[in-house]
Structure 1
Amino acid sequence: MSPDRQDDYLERVKAEIRLEADAARTRAPLPRRDPPPRRPRSTQGDGIERERLDYSIAELSGPHYIAFVDHVFRAVLKRQPDDAGSTMQIRLLAAGAPKAEVIGNLRWSPEGRRIGTRIRGLLPRYVLAKLARLPVIGYALQWGIAFAGLPVLLRHQRAADTSVAAGFNTIADAQRDAGHRLDEVQATLRTEHDRRSDELRGEIRRLQLRVDDLERRAHEFQLRADSLEGRTGAAAHELGELRQYVHAANHWIASLQRSLGDLEEGAAAERDSADAFAASLPEDEGVAAARRERHRAWSAALAERLPQAASVLDLGSGDGAWPEALAERGFDAVGVEANAHLVARAKAGRVAQGDPAAALARCADAGLDAISVSASVLAADPAATVELLGHARRALKPSGWLALRCEREPHRLAAVDGDATRWSAWLAATGFQTPAIVRDGDAAIVLARRGAGGP
């Protein structure tokens, strides 16, 4: 036997003995001291220890076949094996060459000599491996090595037998342990199976009771359905009659809606006709001149109480004569009038057509310096009048004024309540400060300042 093969065999036996020792320590651990920690070796993530240049031959010859060649390339040449070099060394191993020869080929190659890796005990084994290739001397040398290695082979054989016996004992112990664990698992599974079976049987009994209860209820429901089926015919007959009544009521409601629409259209047409008639009424020139003079006096009285360019909203502007008088005083005055025919007569952009009360309700809080209201706008309903005066207080600034005009307007068909004293009491009652009345014959304007409290 060659020295290299003897070493391989010894390494395998040692490895088996180490495994048996580890298994024995696992079964009966003994106290031992941990070896000192090794200094970490620097690598670059590819498993090659580039800084290490000293190995023993046993460290390199442990792996076999391709793993052995790969390991030697990494340790001796510090790189991954190339295809050609790896194939050459594997062929040598397949031809029966010892591992020492493969290691030596790489170590004393030009690349290996340049790197200079030291491998303890390699040189004599490499020389013997090369001499064994000589025709005559090599054959005799191999016989001599084999004869000299017979005692070692016998010792290795006895160690192998002992190792195999220890392995069998370990396997037998493992089988016994596995049998005990299997019995425990089977017992646990049987117990769990019995418990789950009992639970399942109990659940089945509960489900059966539930099914019986459902069947009883289904029978009761069937009886009730049979009872209700007898009533369905009469109900269907009554439903048919009710459907006829509903159709008749729908027809009547549709007719009523059409009638209401016709009435609303007629009322709108009548209102428009009345507005057109009122707008066409002539006004005496002397009365018109007196009205213009009165408006100039009232606008002067209002100018004494308001700042320049004050914002004024006039409700019930008629033909726009009063907003024009306010504008001549420098106020930013606009009006709202419900009669579209009178709005057409007013100066463009000065009077808008619409409901005066609704326009006031849309005004922002505390946004106006003054609000002028024609007595013709105030409704006969006291509640509506109070609501309009409340909106006026809300829309006026804290220092704002309300001007209530009580005069006979030329284009109003309805009688106007021109009692200034009565309206003055209304303003005082709705939160305005003590009103002042500026009279002009049978006409008057009531000037009242917004009260301090409330919105």
Structure 2
Amino acid sequence: MDLQRTLAELRRLAEDLAQNAPGPVLVLPAIDPARRRYRLHELEYADGEEFVESIHRAIVKRAPSPAELLSCLDRYYRGANKVELIGELRGSAEARAIAVTITGLGMRYRLWRLARLRLLGGLFRRVACLFEIHRFFEEQKRFAQSQALRLGERDLRLQIGIDELRRKCADLAAQIAALEARGRTGSNAE
């Protein structure tokens, strides 16, 4: 009977551990309302949700609304260039009123806008690619590093959880052994 209760407790602990495992934590830069100058590479470093949150915090000095976040992430994951997303946000009425300057954005954003023209877009895309090729490799390297870091953090959290589960299993095994020993001594006494 006690053995069944102990096994049920072990299952419950394992389920609790699986449900309460910490998820990825998004660390965002603070909103600095006084800062008005950024370099483009400061805004391009992040990926995914962190990228969208960071550019909004820097350019319009607030976190994006849920609709803005989803829209920007959708465009980002469909292949929109970071320069394009930064340039469009910087060109919004809200951002123009705040007047944040982004060094290195002007020419690159104009090239990407020209690349979208119907007749000359192909030519401009090729020119833009020549200017962007080194940044492509840098971005790929940053992305690989951020993924490795995220996977490393996840693996560390999993290892901590596994170690905790092993410790609890060892405690429960000791309790089971003690209960079995008591059961044997109790049956020997009869």
Determine what percentage of the aligned residue pairs are the same residue: 27
The alignment status of 1:193 with 2:165, answered yes or no, reads: no
Offset from partner CA, 1:261-319 (integer Å, 9 cap, x none) = xxxxxxxxxxxxxxxxxxxxxxxxxxxxxxxxxxxxxxxxxxxxxxxxxxxxxxxxxxx
- Alpha-carbon offset, residue 205 of structure 1: 5.9
Aligned-residue offset at 1:72: 2.9
Gaps of 5+ in 2: 1-29
The structure with the larger Rg is 1
Inter-CA distance 188–154: structure 2 relative to 1 (3 Å threshold): same
Against the structure 1 CA distance between its residues 172 and 139, is the aligned structure 2 distance closer, same or farther, given a 3 Å change threshold?
A: same
Using structure 2 for the length normalisation, give the TM-score: 0.54
Of the three residues 109, 113, 119, the one matched with 1:130 is: 113
Deviation sequence 1:239-260 (CA, Å, 0-9, x none): xxxxxxxxxxxxxxxxxxxxxx
1:50 match: secondary structure:
coil
**Alignment-derived partner of residue 109 in structure 1:** 92
- Counterpart of 1:202 in structure 2 is 185
Cα-Cα RMSD = 5.1
Cα 1:202–1:171 change in 2 (3 A) is same
Distance 1:78 1:180, change over 3 A: closer
**Residue identity opposite 2:105 in structure 1:** L
Aligned residue number for residue 121 of structure 1: 104
Structure 1 portions without partners, runs of 5+: 1-46, 208-455
Higher relative contact order, structure no. (Cα contacts within 8 Å, ≥ 6 residues apart): 2
Aligned to 1:100: 83
2:40 aligns with one of 57, 65, 87: 57
- Which of the numbers 130, 141, 146 marks the counterpart of 2:129? 146
* 2:56 match: 73
Q: Residues 111 and 128 of structure 2 are in contact (CA less than 8 Å); yes or no, is this contact kept in structure 1? A: no
- CA shift in 2, pair 1:71/1:142, >3 Å: same
CA distance in 2, matches of 1:79, 1:168: 29
Letter in 1 for 2:125: Q
Q: Go from structure 1 to structure 2 and tell me whether the alpha carbon gap of 1:201 and 1:68 turns closer, same or farther (over 3 Å shift).
A: same
Q: Distance in 1 between matches of 2:123 and 2:82?
A: 20
Q: What residue is the counterpart of 2:11 in the other structure?
A: none
Distance change (3 Å), C-alpha of 1:79 and 1:160: closer
Amino acid at match of 2:56: F
- Equivalent residues, number: 161
Provide the C-alpha distance between the structure 1 equivalents of 2:108 and 2:61, rounded to a whole number of angstroms.
Answer: 22
Equivalent residue letter for 1:50: P
User: What residue number does 2:6 align with?
Assistant: none
Which letter maps to 1:193?
I
The whole-number CA distance in structure 1 between the counterparts of 2:85 and 2:104 is 14
* 2-structure distance, mates of 1:155, 1:82: 30
- Aligned-pair distance for 1:49? 2.6
Give the letter aligned to residue 125 of structure 1.
Answer: R
Give how far 1:91 is off. 6.7
Q: Deviations over 1:412-446 (max 9, x none)?
A: xxxxxxxxxxxxxxxxxxxxxxxxxxxxxxxxxxx
Deviation string 1:100-151 (CA, Å, 9 cap, x unpaired) is: 2222223233432332112232222212211212234331232244356667
Answer yes or no: is the 8 Å Cα contact 2:44–2:82 preserved in 1: yes
CA 1:82–1:143 in 2, change beyond 3 Å: closer, same or farther? same
Distance 1:172 1:194, change over 3 A: same
CA distance 1:138–1:170, shift in 2 (3 Å): same
Gap change, CA 1:57 and 1:114, over 3 Å in 2: same
Q: Deviations over 1:71-106 (max 9, x none)?
A: 433321224546887777567546643222222223
Instruction: Provide TM-score, normalisation by structure 1.
Output: 0.26
